[in-house]
Amino acid sequence: MRLSASWRRACAAAAVALGIGVSALPGAAQGIALPWVTIPAGAFRMGCVPGDAACLDSERPRHEVTLSTFDLMATEVTVGQYAAFVAATGYARPAVPDYPQAPDHPAVHMTWHDAAAFCAWAGGRLPTEWEWEYAARAGHDGRLYWWGDELTRDYSNFGAPQCCSGATGGVDDWLNTAPVGSFPPNDFGLHDMTGNVWEWVNGWITIRYPDGPLTDPQPAETGYLRIMRGASWLNFPGVLRLSVRLPFSADGHTSNVGARCARDARVLLVSAE
């Protein structure tokens, strides 16, 4: 039986309120530990930052979004983690990229459906687009990248200046994907939010953002194309800006597309004794 996203969220919320472990939920992972980081509640300005000459209409208008606490994987879904999912469920294996990968590299060739299925099995979900950008910026709304306005290979794995091939330099020793966590984390403790692989989010591309402010927004049920965020090892520098939204078919997959999972924040129940 295929459970709807809304039903799974309702189950998760009820289980958290009752203190039930996530492994008790239908479709949850058995015996897999993911590197969850709790992202604090807060507000931020989403979209193109002031002075960004490369801003596209799909990244406008800049607007305020307020989010509740949620959890996000500190790193992207790895080859090893996805292999455990395939072994446990019999889910189809993704295509093998035309370059070597170790178990600690990010899994690639995932469709949106593959990424959503993995995250549901692991007791989570795909992050909303609002959650992704809030987490990626990590309290630095006015920057092109989480560390500042100058792109550097000391913080990210990305491609050559002209499209489209991998490149190396600085800390970036990897022509293709790098092992997850190879670069410094942002101020929320998240690695590779910029570069390495594109990450699927739960949302649909729009011509422009709605006017804010928004509080805990949720994506529409239907749309035209899904969205990926964060750019990859294959992309030229202009695509690495945190506000960039890449529309892509939900059934599409390439050797530079992966994912990271989110989940609703765990609630610690304290006895009144």
- Domain residue limits, the chain: 5-18+34-264
Whole-number pLDDT of residue 203? 95
Q: Is the per-residue pLDDT at 107 higher than 70?
A: yes
Mean pLDDT of 137-157: 97
Q: Is the per-residue pLDDT at 202 higher than 60?
A: yes
Whole-number pLDDT of residue 30? 56
Per-residue CA distances from 208 to 56, 100, 137 (Å): 9, 39, 20
> What's the pTM?
0.87
Whole-number pLDDT of residue 272? 53
Question: What is the pLDDT of the chain when averaged over all its residues?
Answer: 89
Please report, rounded to a whole number, the percentage of residues in the chain having pLDDT higher than 70.
86
Range scoring the smallest mean pLDDT among 14-23, 124-133, 170-179, 249-258: 14-23
5-18+34-264 homologous superfamily: paralog of FGE (formylglycine-generating enzyme) (3.90.1580.10)
Give residue 212's pLDDT band: very low, low, confident or very high (50, 70, 90).
Answer: confident
